[in-house]
Chain A
């Protein structure tokens, strides 16, 4: 892929983000007119900002990649990511805003009046934030590798440095404008190339077998295997090989591979004939997890799908960077309106990645072999259109992808750094916020450099699972159940969130091996860990009836009464 357009595009996005962040406020809000200056953020602007912050690398690259590998099953991802806001709208948005809480630990303190629960919630915010930051950095690394051939870690380091610098320097003054700008940038970066791609697909005769199982090559295709893989063949396959297959070296020989497993060394070129089905690949050597997880989904598609649905439906409300944005709404009703607008904006966006996934299955199926499925979105414009037009569109997509990393990463970093400075680091002040920012980014950066190769959408799924099993019970029961007690909330978060976190850790460490029934349970923990969290919270709360905070009734009244009525309550 030609990087002469893409690199300037990425640089432009980075610079534009920094500039809008630093000067947007100054341009638009310096005035002597109070009514202009003190206008609150409207629901639509706030919704664009929330969407901009929410649509991460997973949405931009990961969903298309998963669609490419797994086919239509993966449409549940965009559905889940969007429907999470429906749950948020119905159960949480307005009461959360009325609670006056800025962060999730604030909410825990406002509702339960307990420092211990506050600290625990803070710990989970940091945990979820780090889990979510990791795939952002990896996605950035992947994008830069695909665009320029730079080493894996470079993109992640660039994003980490830019985000840490701008956040620590207080550069994100007009964060709402930055994030809203990022949303429209991301939408454009997917929409415009998608239109061209669909046109190209039309002129190609509109082939319709995109979701045939299994995917097949439409024309002769040379695939260079980047990492050693094991090919699993159900039926014999004819392929031209230059390199090493099953320990024997070939130089452009045509081979008839019998059904069974074949080991392909790294650097080998395989030339598939047109119409050949794409074989299933499994990465060998090292405990890399992408194929194992992908496989586990095939083994237990139903269980995994339910796990995914539950995690994304209920996990959205616990994402630290989403929650803080609701503070910007002036009142509960505005928070609800904002959520409705977010549903629209996010829903519109999520129509696009499946298009890329389907086209990727048609035009770039070999990505399943090389493992870089997340790169599908980036490669398609070049593959389908080519020439300068393809390069320009590719540059647009690359810019949009970087916008995705930057916006989500900066939102998360601010949320995590806020919790670190308030609840973990000893004393308060601006200097400590900077320290917190560095700390918030250092951990996931180190992890992403050390780990590498985690599929973006899967890693995000794990973050959602932890969020759904710790914060969803806290928020839903905290808002709707008056008998919740501090020990109950703490126990529920620990048991639900903690078990999900352990399951995530076990999955990432490759335990237990693939194929075990236990593996699917651990890779998709939400289905059991969310009910476990709710159950623990309810049971422990019922067992400690004496610890219901004395002002519960007043607090719940404040959560649920519209602001107009509040005057009479407090007077």
Chain B
């Protein structure tokens, strides 16, 4: 009996999985049923088909996306065959009459140049070929012809010419959106590039001043500090890769803090609690150092030069599929309302160096769930929590961990 139960438990697993999958697949179309009059129903059907064809095209016009959307587009037009081309070749042919590919491409040259739609009769030796006639509707983005949508039918039809034109316009809009997406991505990349080299000029100035002050009194110390400075700037200005490892970032923070400590002496103390499991995690380049810089600034702010001491705690924990990094200071804190406005970029970030910048980059790389979480109040210090997924597609640290 018990053995049977065990078998049942195991056998139920795949069935459950299949059930969930089927349920997800079938859930959406069903919700369309039983809506209003047949006309309304047909409208909904059409809109639904159109909405299904849209997502692949949002990634631009490639063989893969064309293949995914062609069938939906053909059912939208109700033709025997539909083909999508770019400027050089047929990307996909959905339906009958596959042998017309080359002929279509030859006849298409004019339409692709002028950007005007046309219709023509196809020549065919095969007697029972169902495709005798083709409508060409160019796909244009920003006045430039990217490709064409070709609908084929057994005989001429004015309705089809109109419909193909409309569908082509709709596809063009999707492609324009894809173009927009692409330029947005490029913008983000450019922004990341612009942001990442942004170490504060004040910091360079202050560091050099501190080193200068040691040159005569303690040349050995000055030499060490210069080396720290060299290491830190080398890390900050390195050219390759947008991502680094938590270990490398921590080393950069170490160099940074050595320079800051030289300036503030005993007033600054730092404790670390790092789970070694998360050190290899990949994260955007220079996204923790600005937070530490911020903590130093806030920690020492508003305290009398002689008595004020600042304590900074940096924690990295292992939390399942994520690493949890917390940077905490016991300094002046900040008004939450002001901080919210800084993060929303309503106020120029004179106070929080790069906080909004780090927040933006984290959101761009990992999604909106992974923005900075900041707990603060005036006079109560500040605690910044960063969640870093251990694996994210496309995030690979460049180079190797610093060797010990």
**A interface with B by C-beta (< 8 Å):** 25-26, 29-35, 37-41, 100-103, 106, 109-110, 113, 123, 126-127, 130-131, 170, 172-176, 286-289, 327-331, 414, 417-418, 421-422, 428-430, 433, 443, 446-447, 450-454, 498, 501-502, 504-511, 558, 562-564, 566-567, 570-571
B276 touches A176 (CB 8 A): yes
Is B27 at the interface (CB under 8 A from chain A)?
Answer: no
Q: Chain A residues with Cβ under 8 A from B395's Cβ? A: 100
Known: A286-B3, A287-B2, A505-B11. A173 touches B251 (CB 8 A): no
Do residues A567 and B399 form an inter-chain contact, with CB atoms below 8 A?
yes
Q: Are A100 and B391 in contact (CB under 8 A)?
A: yes
Supposing A40-B279, A41-B276, A502-B11 touch, asked if A286 and B1 sit within 8 A by C-beta, the answer is: yes
Bound Cα distance from A558 to B396, whole angstroms: 9
Residues of B close to A417: CB separation below 8 A? 320
- B250 located at the interface, meaning its Cβ lies under 8 Å from any Cβ of chain A in the complex: yes
Q: How far is the CB of B269 from chain A (nearest CB, A)?
A: 7
**A102 and B6 contact, CB distance less than 8 A:** no
| Cβ–Cβ < 8 Å partners of A288 in chain B | 2-3
Tell me the complex Cα distance, A35–B247, Å: 10
Closest-by-CB residue of A relative to B399 is A567
Asked if residues A37 and B272 are in contact (CB atoms below 8 Å), the reply is yes
For B, the interface residue count at a CB cutoff of 8 angstroms equals: 53
Scan B374-404; emit 1 where CB is below 8 A from any A CB, else 0: 0000000000000000110101111111001
B 349-360 binary contact with A (CB < 8 Å = 1; else 0): 000000000000
- Chain A residue numbers with a CB within 8 Å of B321 are 102-103, 418, 421-422
The answer to the question of B317 belonging to the interface, with a C-beta cut-off of 8 Å to chain A, is: yes
Q: Which residues of B contact A127 (CB under 8 A)?
A: 13
In contact, B13 and A39 (Cβ under 8 angstroms): no
Contacts of A506 in B (CB 8 A): 7
Give bound CA distance, A130 to B6, whole Å: 12
Contact, CB under 8 Å: A567 / B11: no
B 302-332 contacts with A by CB, 8 A: 317-321
Contact residue among B2, B317, B393 (Cβ-Cβ distance under 8 Å from A453):
B2
| B3 lies within 8 A of A510 (CB) | yes
Q: Which of A32, A329, A498 has the most CB of B within 10 A?
A: A32
Complex Cα gap A172–B279 (Å): 17
User: Please, which residues of chain B bring their CB within 8 A of the CB of A101?
Assistant: 391
Q: Which residues of B contact A173 (CB under 8 A)?
A: 275, 317-318
Contact of B10 among A29, A453, A508, A563 (CB under 8 A): A508
Please tell me if the beta carbons of A289 and B390 are within 8 angstroms of each other in the complex: no
B280 lies within 8 A of A287 (CB): no
Known A29-B275, A37-B274, A564-B400; contact A170-B319, beta-carbon cutoff 8 A: yes
User: Once the chains are docked, how many angstroms separate the CA of A102 from the CA of B317?
Assistant: 16
Given the complex, which residues of A lie within 8 Å of B397, measured CB to CB?
100
B271 interfacial by beta-carbon distance below 8 Å: yes
Task: Determine if B7 and A175 form an interchain contact, defined as CB atoms under 8 angstroms apart.
Answer: no
A333 to chain B, nearest CB (A): 9
Across the two chains, which residue of chain A brings its CB closest to B248? A38
Residue of A nearest to B249 (CB): A38
Which 6 pairs across A and B sit closest by C-beta, in order of nearness?
A509-B7, A563-B400, A34-B254, A287-B3, A505-B10, A37-B272
Closest residue of chain A to B398, judged by CB?
A: A570
- Report A-chain residues with C-beta under 8 Å of the C-beta of B102: none
A327 touches B399 (CB 8 A): no
A contact residues around B390 at 8 Å (CB): 102, 327
CB of B299 to closest CB in A, whole Å: 15
8 Å CB contact of B270 from A32, A170, A511: A32
The contact sample of 28 A-B pairs, CB cut-off 8 A, is A30-B272, A31-B271, A32-B270, A38-B254, A39-B276, A39-B404, A40-B280, A40-B404, A102-B390, A103-B391, A110-B391, A110-B393, A123-B17, A173-B275, A173-B317, A331-B280, A331-B401, A421-B321, A433-B320, A447-B5, A450-B5, A451-B3, A452-B2, A506-B7, A510-B4, A564-B399, A566-B400, A570-B396
Interface residues of B in 35-77 (CB under 8 A from A): none
Q: Is B10 a contact partner of A504 (Cβ separation < 8 A)? A: yes
B14 interface contact, C-beta 8 A? yes
Are B273 and A330 in contact (CB-based, < 8 A)? no
* Cβ–Cβ < 8 Å partners of B320 in chain A: 414, 417-418, 421, 433
Inter-chain contact B247/A40, CB cutoff 8 Å: yes
Known interface pairs A40-B401, A176-B277; A100-B7 also in contact (CB < 8 Å):
no
Q: Are B274 and A38 in contact (CB under 8 A)?
A: yes
Complex CA gap A505/B399 in Å reads: 46
Contact A330 B280 (CB under 8 A): yes
Complex partner residue of A175 from B9, B279, B318, CB under 8 angstroms: B318
The winner among A31, A41, A330, A563 for most chain B CB atoms within 10 A is A330
Tell me if B110 is interfacial: C-beta within 8 Å of chain A: no
Whether A25 and B275, one on each chain, are in contact in the complex, defined by CB atoms closer than 8 angstroms, is: yes
- Rounded to whole angstroms, the CA-CA distance of A450 and B3 in the bound complex is 9
Given A38-B251, A450-B5, A106:B391 Cβ within 8 A? yes
| Contact between chains at A450 and B400 (CB < 8 Å) | no
- The complex places the Cα of A25 from the Cα of B271 at a distance, in Å, of 13
Give complex CA distance A287, B3 in Å.
Answer: 6
Return the contact of A447 from the options B9, B257, B317, B369 (Cβ within 8 A).
B9
In the assembled complex, the Cα of A32 lies from the Cα of B276 at a distance in Å of 15
CA distance A39 to B404 in the complex (A): 8
Q: Which residues in A have their C-beta under 8 angstroms from that of B19?
A: none
A421-B320, A566-B398 known; A571-B240 Cβ under 8 A: yes
Q: Do B272 and A451 touch across chains, with their CB atoms under 8 A apart?
A: no
A38 vs B8: C-alpha distance when bound (angstroms): 48
| Residues of chain B within 8 A of A32, CB atoms compared | 269-272
Q: A487 CB to closest chain B CB, in angstroms?
A: 13
Distance between Cα atoms of A41 and B401 in the complex (Å): 12
Could you tell me if A509 and B399 are in contact, using CB atoms closer than 8 angstroms?
A: no
Chain B residue with the shortest CB-CB distance to A419: B321
Min CB–CB distance A140 → chain B (angstroms): 17
> Which of B10, B396, B401: most chain A Cβ within 10 A?
B10
- Assuming A37-B272, A428-B369, is B393 touching A563 (CB within 8 A)? no
Instruction: Determine the residue in chain A with the shortest Cβ distance to B401.
Output: A330
Q: Does B286 contact A (CB under 8 A)?
A: no
Chain A, residue nearest B274 (CB): A37
Q: Does B178 contact A (CB under 8 A)?
A: no
The answer to whether A174 and B275 have CB atoms under 8 Å apart is: yes
Decide if B275 touches A450 in the complex (CB within 8 Å): no
Asked if B282 lies at the interface with its beta carbon under 8 angstroms from chain A, I say: yes
Cβ of A96 to closest chain B Cβ, rounded Å: 12
A290 to B, closest residue via Cβ: B3
| Contacting residue for B250 out of A34, A330, A498, A504, CB 8 A | A34
Q: Is the CB of B247 within 8 A of A330?
A: yes
Residues of chain B from 129 to 182 with CB closer than 8 A to chain A in the complex: none
Contacts of B8 in A (CB 8 A): 505, 509
Nearest opposing residue in chain B for A447, CB measure: B9
A31–B272 touching, CB < 8 Å: yes
| B30 interface hit (Cβ, 8 Å) | no
Indicate if B265 sits at the interface (CB-CB under 8 A).
no
B241 contacts A by Cβ under 8 Å: yes
Q: Is there a chain A Cβ closer than 8 Å to B28's Cβ?
A: no
User: For the complex, is B202 an interface residue (Cβ under 8 Å from A)?
Assistant: no
Q: Indicate whether B216 reaches chain A with its CB closer than 8 angstroms.
A: no
- Specify which chain A residues have a CB less than 8 angstroms from the CB of B280 in the assembled complex: 40, 327-331
Please give, as numbers and ranges, the residues of chain A lying within 8 Å of B4 by CB-CB distance.
Answer: 287, 509-510
Q: Is the CB of B404 within 8 A of A511?
A: no
Smallest CB gap from A110: residue in B: B393
Residues of A within 8 A of B11 (CB): 502, 505, 509
Q: How far is the CA of A564 from the CA of B273 in the complex (A)?
A: 28
Please report the C-alpha to C-alpha distance between residue A490 and residue B101 in the assembled complex, in whole angstroms: 32
